[in-house]
Each structure stands twice: as structure tokens, then as C-alpha cells.
Amino acid sequence: MLVHAHGFFIPVPITSNAQTGYLGLLLNNYIQPRLGASGFWVYIIIVLIQAIRLNFLLADQKMYPQSSYTVAMTYVLLTGLFPAWSVISPALLANFFLIWIYIKLTRLYNNPAPKTLLFNIGLLVAIMVLCYHPTALVVPVVLFALGIMRAFKLQEWFTLIMGMALPYYFLASGLYLTNQLPLLSNWLPDWEMPTKLTPLKKAEWIGLSSFLMSFFIGLFFWQQFNSRLVIQMRKNWSSLLVMTIILSLSPFAFHHAGFEAAFLCLVSVVPFAAAIFSFPRRLLFPNLIFWLLLAAVMYNNWQIVKF
């Protein structure tokens, strides 16, 4: 609540575009008319659930030297760095899918019967893309994860691709039977390479600098610790790193995505940023980074309330 203290002074709005998938339609047509003044508490609950779920996942996978709540704390802290992230948006809800998919990806290694798991992963990815189109960038991440987690078997790759295709098959069938097949293009990602970038405001520059600082410093500490991990943990970290690189393109690669689409990067960036608070033995530097991030968050809150 401190990170998003602006919610005590102004309502937390819903920001969505119906052209980015089913989640945009859901928020615009059903949630926004009924949300009212409770948007702040709904936002807080969503962020806390995602933060704690990601924390439990990484603790269960033994991704850090010891179990703690630093991952959840980092997730909550980074959500307050940008004004565009302090809203209820499709990207916020899509992070539930991202965490769910990453949970399943971590179970691929040495799985004796992976076909059902792979089909479910493909199914989840396709449903997620239908719900929020910028998540289409997760497709190469999933293919990369399968490539490094398991030895190549054509049947497994075919099972994954079949799971991805099934929701679109049913969607196309339904539209065809109702003579609306041309509407299928509305449910496909609208790729767009920007010709001109919108200049960032001062608050956004501060938030972006803090976000990148936390990622790269965490990446430095992670590299020092990574050599001591077992091979499965290294593969999990590699998947997160590739996910970070690819999802960083989400605000630029899709029409109508906007800066809020960068919220998708949180799921993969937070584990690296949390390394700042988990790996060092001396706490002076982690405490300094924490207070710098909190200062950036408070400045963001002041800007939101001011305008």
C-alpha cells in the first residue's frame, strides 16, 4: 500500500484497449462499469497474489541460496516505478498466465511423460495470446525453453505446436459456422514496427533508469552465483533471461500495446532484481539499492497525484 500510496488520493483506473484481446473486452465491458472506488484494493490484491505466487515458485525451485520473501518484495516494489503500471490493465492480468506457464516450463526437465505437459503449455500460450495479443512474444520463449530443457524429439515439438493451434482452430471454426470468418484477423496479434518513439517524461526516465539498474546489478550478482547451480537451475535461469530480452520488445512490436505492455517483463526481471537482496552477504549495498528504488517509487506516486 505504501508503494501505491497514490491510490488513497486518486482512484486506480482501468486502462485497456479492446483491440488487444479478450482481456481488453472484459475490462471495458464488464469490470470497469462495476469496479467503482474499489479499484485500488483490487489492484493491490492482484499484485500481492502474483508476487507471492512467483516467490513460492522460485523458492520451491531452490533458485536462491535461502528461502525468503525478497522476490515478492521486489515484485511489489518494481510495480510502482511507472505511472503506466499503476493501473488495472490486460498486461497486469496476463502476468497470471506468464507465471503459470513458467511453472510448467520448470517441470519439463527430466519429466518422464512430457506430452501432456507440453500440450497444456501450448494450450495456455494460445489462450494467453487470445486474451492479450502482446504475449505472442512468449511463443519463441517457450520454443527456446523446450529446446534447452529436453533432447530433440519431433513428437514433443508437434504436441506443443498442436496445443498452440487448438484454440485458434476452434475460434476459426466458430467464426466460419456463423459466417464471420473475416473477423478472425481481429484476434490475431497486430504487429507494428514503430517509426517514431514517444518521448519519455521525467518520471518515466527515473522509473526506467531504476528498473534497468535493478536488472543489470541483479544480473551481475546472478552471474557470480550461477556457476554453483545444478544444470536444471541454470536452464531455468536461461529461460528467464531469454524471456526478459524478448518481452522487452512488447511495447514496440504491437499496435495499441502502449507502455503498459512492458509490465509483462516483471515476471522475468524480478528474479534477477531479487538477486540484489538475496546473494550479497553484506547488507549495506542491498539496503542502498532498496532505498533508491523506494525513492523512485515515491517520486512516481507524487507525480501521479500531482497530475
Q: DSSP per residue over 129-194, as a string?
A: HHH-GGGGGHHHHHHHHHHHHS---HHHHHHHHHHHHHHHHHHHHHHHHTT-GGGGGGGS--B---
Does any domain span residue 171? no
Give the distance, in angstroms, between the CA of residue 54 and the centroid of all CA atoms in the same chain. Answer: 11
Task: Supply the range of the domain harboring residue 296.
Answer: 5-110+200-306
pLDDT digits (tens, 9 = 90+) for 137-149: 999 999 999 998 8
Task: Fill in the amino acid letter for 272.
Answer: F
Average pLDDT over residues 165-174: 92
User: How many structural domains comprise the chain?
Assistant: 1
Nearest one of 228, 216, 189 to 65, comparing CA atoms: 228
Distance CA 104, CA 145 (A): 11
Does any domain span residue 188? no
The phi, psi pair for 88, rounded to 5°, reads -85, 115
Using DSSP's 3-state secondary structure scheme, residue 14 falls into: strand
Average pLDDT over residues 96-110: 91
Nearest one of 88, 66, 69, 101 to 13, comparing CA atoms: 88
- Write the burial class of residue 213 (CB in 10 Å: 0-12 exposed, 13-18 middle, 19+ buried): middle
pLDDT digits (tens, 9 = 90+) for 206-238: 888 999 999 999 999 888 887 777 788 888 888
Per mean pLDDT, which of 98-112, 225-239, 244-258 is the most reliable?
98-112
Does any domain span residue 190? no
Residue 194 above 70 pLDDT?
A: no
Using DSSP's 3-state secondary structure scheme, residue 254 falls into: strand
Residue 178 above 80 pLDDT?
A: yes
Average pLDDT of every residue of the chain: 87
Does any domain span residue 164? no
Place 162 in a pLDDT band, splitting at 50, 70 and 90: very high
Does any domain span residue 247? yes
Using DSSP's 3-state secondary structure scheme, residue 12 falls into: coil
pLDDT digits (tens, 9 = 90+) for 26-37: 888 888 877 877
> Angle 162-21-40 (CA atoms, 0-180°, nearest 5)?
125
Nearest-10 Cα torsion for 143, 124, 270, 54: -130
Residue 193 confidence (pLDDT): 67
Residue 57 · residue 102 · CB < 8 Å? yes
What DSSP state is assigned to residue 199? P
Nearest one of 250, 225, 254, 251 to 237, comparing CA atoms: 225
Average pLDDT over residues 63-72: 87
What DSSP state is assigned to residue 112? S
Does any domain span residue 299? yes
Residue 297 · residue 80 · CB < 8 Å? yes
**Cell digits of residue 283:** 547488507
Does any domain span residue 150? no
Distance CA 146, CA 234 (A): 14
Does any domain span residue 288? yes
Residue 195 above 70 pLDDT?
A: no
